[in-house]
Amino acid sequence: MRLGWLELAVAAAATVASAKDDLAYSPPFYPSPWMDGNGEWAEAYRRAVDFVSQLTLAEKVNLTTGVGWMQEKCVGETGSIPRLGFRGLCLQDSPLGVRFADYVSAFPAGVNVAATWDKNLAYLRGKAMGEEHRGKGVDVQLGPVAGPLGRHPDGGRNWEGFSPDPVLTGVLMAETIKGIQDAGVIACAKHFIGNEMEHFRQASEAVGYGFDITESVSSNIDDKTLHELYLWPFADAVRAGVGSFMCSYNQVNNSYSCSNSYLLNKLLKSELDFQGFVMSDWGAHHSGVGAALAGLDMSMPGDTAFGTGKSFWGTNLTIAVLNGTVPEWRVDDMAVRIMAAFYKVGRDRYQVPVNFDSWTKDEYGYEHALVGQNYVKVNDKVDVRADHADIIRQIGSASVVLLKNDGGLPLTGYEKFTGVFGEDAGSNRWGADGCSDRGCDNGTLAMGWGSGTADFPYLVTPEQAIQNEILSKGKGLVSAVTDNGALDQMEQVASQASVSIVFVNADSGEGYINVDGNEGDRKNLTLWKGGEEVIKTVAANCNNTIVVMHTVGPVLIDEWYDNPNVTAIVWAGLPGQESGNSLVDVLYGRVSPGGKTPFTWGKTRESYGAPLLTKPNNGKGAPQDDFTEGVFIDYRRFDKYNETPIYEFGFGLSYTTFEYSDIYVQPLNARPYTPASGSTKAAPTFGNISTDYADYLYPEDIHKVPLYIYPWLNTTDPKKSSGDPDYGMKAEDYIPSGATDGSPQPILPAGGAPGGNPGLYDEMYRVSAIITNTGNVVGDEVPQLYVSLGGPDDPKVVLRNFDRITLHPGQQTMWTTTLTRRDISNWDPASQNWVVTKYPKTVYIGSSSRKLHLQAPLPPY
Ligand SMILES: *[C@@H]1O[C@H](CO)[C@@H](O)[C@H](O)[C@H]1NC(C)=O
Ligand SMILES: *[C@@H]1O[C@H](CO)[C@@H](O)[C@H](O)[C@H]1NC(C)=O
Ligand SMILES: *[C@@H]1O[C@H](CO)[C@@H](O)[C@H](O)[C@H]1NC(C)=O
Ligand SMILES: *[C@@H]1O[C@H](CO)[C@@H](O)[C@H](O)[C@H]1NC(C)=O
Ligand SMILES: *[C@@H]1O[C@H](CO)[C@@H](O)[C@H](O)[C@H]1NC(C)=O
Ligand SMILES: *[C@@H]1O[C@H](CO)[C@@H](O)[C@H](O)[C@H]1NC(C)=O
Ligand SMILES: *[C@@H]1O[C@H](CO)[C@@H](O)[C@H](O)[C@H]1NC(C)=O
Ligand SMILES: *[C@@H]1O[C@H](CO)[C@@H](O)[C@H](O)[C@H]1NC(C)=O
Ligand SMILES: *[C@@H]1O[C@H](CO)[C@@H](O)[C@H](O)[C@H]1NC(C)=O
Ligand SMILES: *[C@@H]1O[C@H](CO)[C@@H](O)[C@H](O)[C@H]1NC(C)=O
């Protein structure tokens, strides 16, 4: 058992903290803010209050606590309220589709959405994913992801999110959330926060890999870096109205994310005025009372560790309210937040029964899989895919990034002899879903591994699509060598081929699966399965070699990218089920590539800075991961240290060309910025609960499922019912000061509305430029607006806005965009607010972070 709340007590006493090796420390912030229905939450709040006011304490607790790992059909399920006909909420992975289900779509990964730079496609994908979850009976889709953001190029789960740039991630995150929630399903912004690598995210997992540690890694992040980088996209998520957040496995400043009052109470619920609920990552909940007071609202999957039958909440939360350590208003707030999210997205109108089962594809299975009880029909095999293959194919082709083109592309399909090379072109001989949670790299790569996956309904391979393309056009020869060891055969085919298309990949995923020595995070940045050898062999024998990469992020290409026989390089990312079809649309010129790389392609791993922490550095205690590079990750770091990348952030070629001219900046006379002020109302309570232990005993007629988590007590003796050996510790020894205070609280200056102070989103400048398609084919361009904030500690430039636009040959358009106050501000830790510094600022419009074609000074306002 981890005494999370003890630590918290230690942290609360500032004097004690500095005594312990000067480890980074997270200041306390109490009480936990209660929701008030601010902004677009008003109606949902009112309905939630009506509902929660009818509940008993045990029923409220049921809403907050999962029933235990594998006890119901979804990866997470809360208790139900049978008295009111309210079933448990179904929470299901993943950010790219419905995990553990059949007759669902396998969408492109988040990193591909980032590569499209297309707000509309992000929305449409979110909507389609939301519809699929809705059709399966899911209440909460566990995505999208902004943590990891991408501090490390080799971080295992970066591909689940979008990009290491906070603006690109924030904008696409918001669109995805709107899409999911417009489909009537609650979205979940995760993992909050600082979850930048898989190594040491959970002590138990690290022990499994042979490390002797007892606590999860601590991401030590300063206030300015947190605001300007990691928190930024989460602010966009809150502003987009996201219904739920998931706190992460790691600690921040040596306090677990799910019981870190500074993160949850202060930043998320006070400053960002988040109105929805916070759930724990699966097993990231480490303390009962402590987490409740620090702002956690839902324990997932409910048990202390998978399958223990014990919970930090459930029975314990009921007792904690009755014995007065957790105020009634705090549990009421948890329940109201959960129900408000439910009503906000229309779950009361859209909910259908859960008609699939995470634990079996069979029609029949155990209702309670963990304990093998109640064999019933569990899977109706409802087909929820509709016409989503179209949007999947479209995103797949829109996300293709053309990195190099020396005349290799587009192809016509009339080539005499097309050679296809590499295992990554073909199918997984074990089946597309042959490795559970995609935990292998067999055949073409279209998704990383871990919980961020869905099963493929089919997977169109590049080999299949290229062959179809050529056969449908004429009489060309096609030969595919998909065994990476068959270098002799490759030589023979390549030397005859008029065009050779080489497929290579690099995979990564979640920490609980180790693929080829990669424990989630990648152990290197090179290609997998001897990809370099394949490229070199083919290129040595064919002067028209096209390389296609399916990779989770950047790989080192320095050895071969400038080989003159390599006539084109394409990054196709993780495109999902329509992989081959999306690719041929671009290779054969039906779609002009318009994707832009959402990360930097450096020459070496070192050029990215901050290495992954791969060895514990604090004895058995929490490994300490200091984010000393601040905001300088990805292109910001390359710019700062004058490192020349091979391909810079934002770069991508097209089959046509574009010209930029006539930048124009217009100040918009925004109102002055007013710090938010005043105070909240006092904490409300809803309904009238009994405080008599006898009213919370297990009902006599209940059929108790073994190891199931319930809200009830065994006996009227709370200590016995809790079973906690430390039960009854004096409250003043571990309840942080102010944590139970329900009186009105001050509103923070940077707060005041969901997403933060509304003045941050005031438009300060309108910026426009003329963009012309100067080539011969229709194509998409992504004009990118960058700003230099001008201070000595600021990055050279930071992305602030973008759009994807389609232009016909010769067509001109005026692209207009805006800069908000947040866009031109820095976080000021002293005033705990955003400020526009006095430094002269410059705005740039360009086609990448280094092709800044136009620039203009921003007039002081
Ligand atoms: C972590 O510590 C740094 C340095 O003292 C501080 O700036 C930051 O606000 C802290 N963050 C959290 C979440 O405690
Ligand atoms: C709590 O949820 C469980 C599981 O759905 C259910 O059996 C139980 O009756 C619920 N308890 C209350 C008080 O509604
Ligand atoms: C209550 O929580 C403690 C840990 O704080 C745990 O040891 C105990 O088993 C829990 N009780 C129940 C009934 O789940
Ligand atoms: C109140 O209940 C909680 C949950 O079982 C327990 O951890 C705590 O020690 C109790 N506190 C007191 C003062 O009895
Ligand atoms: C599939 O992947 C597994 C796990 O990496 C590997 O052991 C196996 O050899 C692969 N099988 C094939 C047919 O590629
Ligand atoms: C990098 O890791 C991949 C995947 O495990 C492996 O195939 C490759 O050989 C490694 N590269 C080097 C240079 O060791
Ligand atoms: C390019 O390909 C030709 C065969 O077409 C070969 O003779 C030549 O050596 C190759 N050049 C390189 C740099 O590999
Ligand atoms: C590529 O090789 C072919 C013969 O295989 C030759 O006809 C062609 O001229 C070569 N192209 C270049 C650019 O060297
Ligand atoms: C709450 O319920 C109790 C009985 O359970 C009753 O005595 C009391 O008056 C009620 N209070 C309110 C405010 O309704
Ligand atoms: C409560 O009673 C059940 C048997 O009904 C037992 O399995 C469980 O361990 C008891 N819990 C505690 C905390 O004593």
- 742 is a domain residue: no
Residue 489 and residue 620 in one domain: yes
Whether residue 557 is found in the same domain as residue 588: yes
Protein residue with its CA nearest to atom 1 in ligand 10: 714
Q: Are residues 562 and 669 in the same domain?
A: no
Q: Supply the pLDDT for residue 857.
A: 98
Tokens of residue 623, six digits: 């490994």
The reply to whether 379 falls in a domain is no
**Do 621 and 579 belong to one domain?**
yes
Residue 684 lies in a domain: no
Does 6 sit in the ligand 4 pocket, CB within 6 Å?
A: no
Pocket test for ligand 6, best of 505, 519, 526 (most atoms within 8 A of CB): 526
CA of residue 741 to ligand 2 center, whole Å: 30
Residues 6 or more apart in contact with residue 12 via CB below 8 angstroms: 28, 736, 737
The pLDDT score that the predictor gives to residue 21 is 67
Q: Is cis: bond before 684, omega within 30 of 0?
A: no
Residues 665 and 698 placed together within one structural domain of the fold: no
Residue 566: inside a domain: yes
Structural contact between residues 216 and 249, judged by C-beta atoms closer than 8 angstroms: yes
- In this structure, what are the phi and psi dihedrals at residue 180, rounded to the nearest 5 degrees? -60, -45
The H or E element spanning position 251 is strand 251-252
Pocket test for ligand 6, best of 523, 533, 534 (most atoms within 8 A of CB): 523
DSSP code per residue over 701-734: T--PPTT---S-BSSS-HHHHH--TTTT--HHHH
What's the one-letter identity of residue 132? E
**How many structural domains are present in the chain?**
3
Q: Report pTM.
A: 0.97
Q: What is the pLDDT of residue 11?
A: 39
In a domain, 220, yes or no: yes
Domain assignment of residue 621, yes or no: yes
* Ligand 2 binding pocket includes 80 (Cβ within 6 Å): yes
Same domain, 713 and 767: no
Q: How many residues does the chain have?
A: 861
pLDDT for the residue numbered 17? 39
- 728 and 760: one domain? no
The active-site residue out of 281, 333, 639, 823 is: 281
Which H or E run includes 801? Answer: strand 798-802
Q: Are residues 706 and 560 in the same domain?
A: no
DSSP 718-779: HHHHH--TTTT--HHHHSPTTTT--S--BPPTT-SSTTS-GGGG-EEEEEEEEEEE-SSS-E
What domain range is 828 assigned to? Answer: 659-675+751-857
Query: Is there a single domain that holds both residue 425 and residue 568?
Result: yes
Sites in the chain below the pLDDT cut of 50: 1-19
Domain co-membership, 171 together with 274: yes
Q: Measuring from atom 14 of ligand 9, which residue has the nearest CA?
A: 688
**Residues 460 and 557 grouped into a single domain:** yes
Q: Which amino acid is at 250?
A: N
Question: Are residues 694 and 670 part of one domain?
Answer: no
Q: Is 437 a catalytic residue?
A: no
Expressed in angstroms and rounded, the spacing between residue 498 Cα and the centre of ligand 8 is 9
State the CATH number of the domain containing residue 197.
3.20.20.300
Chain mean position to CA 322: 37
Phi, psi of 464, deg, nearest 5: -60, -45
Q: What is the CATH number of the domain that holds 486?
A: 3.40.50.1700
Rounded to the nearest angstrom, the distance between the alpha carbon of 811 and the centre of ligand 6 is 46
Task: Write the CA distances from 753 to 66, 122, 274, integer angstroms.
Answer: 30, 25, 8
Query: Closest Cα partner for 275 from 232, 241, 233, 240?
Result: 241
Distance 322 CA to ligand 4 centre (A): 9
Task: Select from 55, 67, 80 the residue to mutate for testing ligand 2; criterion: most ligand atoms less than 8 Å from CB.
Answer: 80
Q: Is 625 assigned to a binding site?
A: yes
Position 24 in a domain: yes
Give residue for tokens 């089962």. Answer: 357
Residue 284 lies in a domain: yes
In this predicted model, what pLDDT tens digit does every residue of 371-396 receive, in sequence order?
A: 999 999 999 999 999 999 999 999 99
pLDDT at 7: 40
